[in-house]
Amino acid sequence: MTAVSIPLHRPAPRALLVASTACQAIPAGQLRQLGYECAPTSDPYAAMLEICQRPLVYRAVVISLQSLYREELAVIWTIKQRYPHLEVFLTQTDGRQAALAEGMRLGADGLLAEDGLHRLNDGSARPMEEFPHLSRTADTIFDPPPAVPDAADELQSSGHDDPMHADVTCPDEPLLTADELRALLEEPTLPASGGHD
């Protein structure tokens, strides 16, 4: 009996690169050399929406520290808490030691450097309560959206038999756009009341 071997073709793992347009070329090239298929985006909020809509498409998220504000580092903690199968790597860390240390405390798995990926973290992110300047961002922006009711249940509860008259939210549409998320982050924080009238 003759043995037949069929070559397996496994697709390249995909990585989502979060970096400004000017900062994308170098890490994208490094990821391609490591065998990753790279999907770049310049907006961390659009990246978070992409992960929420298609969480199983990506194996890694690479974040350029030169492209994020300090408050936007909350995406690292959110990704690690909500999607633990994703690895988060930081890149372009020169001159960003404080952001690098904070990113690692929030649960980043390691660094992307010229010589490859370096896993440095044991995967245990610290509780968000230890980051008061990020807590409001993560709690209000990156919590999962409420469940969308089934269209049939919505029709029955509305009393309409005609789908054209039912007000049903399509589950494939994003609840917020990247611009709406950014606008929510820019709202001023109300001071806590100290008991004085």
Q: What is the pLDDT of residues 114-123, one digit of tens each?
A: 888 888 876 5
**CA nearest neighbour of 42 among 60, 58, 66:** 66
pTM across the whole model: 0.60
Averaged pLDDT of the chain? 75
**CA nearest neighbour of 108 among 78, 131, 132, 136:** 78
pLDDT of 160 > 60? The answer is no
Residue 136: per-residue pLDDT: 46
Residue 150: per-residue pLDDT: 47
113 pairs with which residues across the strands?
116
pLDDT of 176 > 60? The answer is yes
pLDDT of 177 > 80? The answer is no
Which residue blocks in 36-89 are alpha helix, DSSP H? 44-53, 74-82
CA 193/CA 130 separation, integer angstroms? 22
pLDDT in tens, 25-71: 999 999 999 999 999 999 999 999 999 999 899 999 999 999 988 88
The two structure tokens encoding residue 51? 């992960």
Give yes or no for a contact between 108 and 89, defined as CB atoms under 8 angstroms apart: yes
Record: fold of 14-134: Rossmann fold (3.40.50)
10 Å CB burial of residue 77 (0-12, 13-18, 19+) is buried
pLDDT bin (cut points 50, 70, 90) of residue 73 is: very high
Between 68 and 178, the more confident residue is 68
> What are the residue boundaries of the structural domains of the chain, listed by start?
14-134, 147-185
pLDDT of 169 > 70? The answer is no
CA 40/CA 22 separation, integer angstroms? 11
